Amino acid sequence: MRNAVKLKSLIATSCAVLIAGTLISACSATQKPANKAQASVPTNAQIEAILSNLTLEEKAGQLNLINFEGELGEEHYEMIRQGKVGSLLKSNGAAQNLKLQKIAVEQSRAGVPILFQEDVIHGYKTIAPIPLAEAASWDLPAIQHSAAVAAREASAAGIQLTYAPMVDMSRDPRWGRIIEAAGEDPYLASLVAAARVKGFQESGEGNQNILATVKHFAGYGAALAGRDYNIQDLSERELREVHLPPFKAAVDADVAAVMIAYTAHDGVPLTANEYMVQDVLQGELGFNGLIMTDWATIYNLERAGVSANEEDATITAINNNIHMDMAAKKYVELLPKLVREGKVDEQLVDDAVRQVLMLKYKAGLLDDPYGRFDVELEKKELLSAENVEATKQMALKSMVLLKNSDNTLPIADSVKKVAVIGPFAKAQKDLMGWWPGLGDENDVVSIMAGLEQEFGDSIEFTYAQGVEIDRFNKAGADLIPEAVKNAEAADLVIMVLGEQEWMSGEGGGTASLHLPGLQEQLLAAVAETGKPIATVIVSGRPYVLTDVANHSDAVLQAWMPGTTGGNAVAEILSGKFNPQGKLPVTFPYHQGQVPIFYSYKKTSHPFMEGVTEDRYSTTYRDVQHEPLYPFGFGLSYTEYSYSDIKLNSASMALDGSIVASVDVTNTGDVAGREVVQLYIHDKVASVTQPVKLLKDFTLLELAPGETKTAEFTITADKLSFIGIDYQPTIESGDFDVFIGPDSVQLKQAEFTLN
Ligand code: BGC
């Protein structure tokens, strides 16, 4: 298997080199190995009937996915009439899309409806917390429901397909798109991926589902040094252990489409990468749906220097089973000519059209092209009270309490005067993050407004911006004295610090993981007052909060919490809602630790705690290697105690199971929900193993004083790893099982797999 893998990679790479060099004609894309995965293109009689009626130009038009620049006008309508627009992105609203649909159906020769697509990443009009935040809830039904709410709104506004879920694994918070996925752990990320696919595609409301697109296949999150679009240099092992699992989960959940990444895997851009697309995605993962490019990635083959010209790029992409061309317009412009010249097999074009038509069929457009554009439904659905409440619940569940010394939170009744300080206290747009859908910042409840609504007259609030956020510059030092003055006059300070929406998300790479601008200095100055400080962090990524935590009594990671973010923060600060989120990603202690994640592999030399004198350990000489807050960590207003682990047997057979359980008691005064986590470590294996790997978790609701048992059934699939031959492998021997409230504070037991 391994040899076969290597051989295929070699063919693709050597061909690309020749294209870039002088022997262009000796290695044109048509002479590449024949497309391998043509077997199972989904189709039906309706699709075949439409296809057989299309001219070559119209077929190429079906593969064309574009956005219309500027105001809609006659030139756009004419493109539709000519059958050049198979799908549209960034065209929104039931009325507008119905109008365009009518032109396509009634005025184009073949009358094929348009598929309307959009980036519905975490909400459409009612904006939910960013996906990284949602993952912090570990609440799969809630995550699924959140996607369903987004689907219903988008569908009502004339959209039938979203470019989500994004499932790129990232262990580098410098990469701005860490905001968009589910964090660092492949197991949690896979469950979240499946939940989001189901939420979009099965929103449970008749034709209010939308089709999901899992993206970006694959390895984009490994962009080197946190710079977006940078090369990725992944081993076959890391690809399979870390990056592929959430894609597999989405495919298994029947995701309709896959979007290809911008990046190059093993030197070959994904759009051209036959090994990744044909062997791995279509072959191994068994995906037989539509594959689309990311923005202009066909054209990018030329930019990246692996195709000599746009014709070669187009041939390469269609030969690699890339069915839909987003924004490059190369398929629509070049495919008919390339087919006529014999450089592209028309069969490939037909198969791609079948894929597009299958999506239109699944969306119900072939049977009823106008049925999904209902202006009345749109009015009812967008920002409905139910949707707003659902996103607030999601925001509440996603926030993570990182520190709470001396029960600073929830705010005590004795607190009468609160100084709210910080450049994000009144922020609205920033609470929606980089992918705000069609969200309107004026609909967003700021944290200041949320606090005022929650506490009414019982607390007197003052406000000071504290510093300016002027890109990454250190601006606004002159505002600090007023903030300090307010703090001096208050019983409690609420600092609201973070980053602006454009600082993370696509193209949102950052070299420094310290809060932008003078925010840390502001906090230090306020801390000088000696007043208790609760700091709320608004961010799309883990920042290094070491100094923030040192200067704060309480820290709440609020992420970018969406439309009702201010209400959710206020309800947590008041104690109406007991925080229950747990970090889906490690928060570094120092930015030099990046990439940092909990499931590091065992090495020959030990990991020592803290800063050690032992030179021969795999640790730093200047700072601890431990993070500030580990994966899985999150506090509550109550406390939980864990019993030792009970195993129902000391050993298990390969086809058997073993049950590990702990009793968890709520030892505090308020009800809470605890995420009980199970990790496993394979003590001796033929491939180095992570020191622990999340394998299961359960959510326990516990009243004060209540004890419940968390029970986990371990079967052989939880003990498998990617073997030397890159296949799932299970080896008998001893295993550690760990259970606890996060990836560090763990009870431990051992068992043997016979
Ligand atoms: C992004 C995709 C997005 C697409 C369409 C690209 O630049 O990488 O994630 O879906 O634009 O907006």
Q: Where are the domains of the chain?
A: 63-376, 399-588, 640-753
Say yes or no: CB of residue 215 within 6 Å of ligand 1. yes
294 noted as active-site residue: yes
State whether CATH 3.60.21.10 applies to domain 63-376: no
Separation of 455 CA from ligand 1 center, angstroms? 41
Q: Which atom of ligand 1 lies at the shortest distance from residue 327's CA?
A: 5
Which range has the worst mean pLDDT, 78-87, 201-210, 486-495?
A: 201-210
Separation of 506 CA from ligand 1 center, angstroms? 8
Separation of 508 CA from ligand 1 center, angstroms? 13
Which range has the worst mean pLDDT, 502-511, 618-627, 656-665?
A: 618-627
> Which pLDDT does position 35 carry in this prediction?
53
Q: Which atom of ligand 1 lies at the shortest distance from residue 180's CA?
A: 9
Residue nearest to atom 12 of ligand 1 (CA): 119
* Rounded (10°) angle between helices 186-201 and 244-252: 30
How many helices (H) and strands (E) the chain has is answered by: 23, 29
Say yes or no: CB of residue 177 within 6 Å of ligand 1. no
What stretch of H or E contains 547?
helix 546-550
Residue in 260, 295, 434, 504 to alter for ligand 1 test, most ligand atoms within 8 A of Cβ: 295
pLDDT in tens, 310-352: 999 999 999 999 999 999 999 999 999 999 999 999 999 999 9
> Which pLDDT does position 378 carry in this prediction?
97
> Which pLDDT does position 740 carry in this prediction?
98
Say yes or no: CB of residue 77 within 6 Å of ligand 1. no
Q: Which of 185, 266, 294, 374 is catalytic?
A: 294
Instruction: Provide the CA 697 distance to its chain's centre, in angstroms.
Output: 20
Superfamily of domain 399-588: Glycoside hydrolase family 3 C-terminal domain (3.40.50.1700)
Q: Using CA atoms, how far apart are residues 543 and 173, in angstroms rounded to an integer? A: 7
Q: Does residue 582 have a pLDDT over 80?
A: yes
For residues 494-521, average pLDDT: 97
ω into 369 cis (within 30 of 0): no
> Which pLDDT does position 329 carry in this prediction?
97
Say yes or no: CB of residue 139 within 6 Å of ligand 1. no
Residue nearest to atom 2 of ligand 1 (CA): 294
By DSSP bridging, strand 460-464 and strand 417-421 are: parallel
Sheet architecture: strand order including 87-89? 161-162, 115-118, 87-89, 64-66, 325-326
Q: Class assignment of domain 640-753?
A: mainly beta
Sheet architecture: strand order including 492-498? 400-404, 554-557, 533-538, 492-498, 417-421, 460-464
Say yes or no: CB of residue 294 within 6 Å of ligand 1. yes
Separation of 280 CA from ligand 1 center, angstroms? 22
Separation of 118 CA from ligand 1 center, angstroms? 9
Residue 18 pLDDT grade (very low, low, confident, very high; cuts 50, 70, 90): very low
Q: Which atom of ligand 1 lies at the shortest distance from residue 119's CA?
A: 10
Say yes or no: CB of residue 119 within 6 Å of ligand 1. yes
Separation of 294 CA from ligand 1 center, angstroms? 6
Residue 34 pLDDT grade (very low, low, confident, very high; cuts 50, 70, 90): very low
Residue 610 pLDDT grade (very low, low, confident, very high; cuts 50, 70, 90): confident
Question: Which sign, positive or negative, has the C-alpha torsion 187, 188, 193, 195?
Answer: positive
Say yes or no: CB of residue 180 within 6 Å of ligand 1. no
The single-letter code of the amino acid at 459 is: I
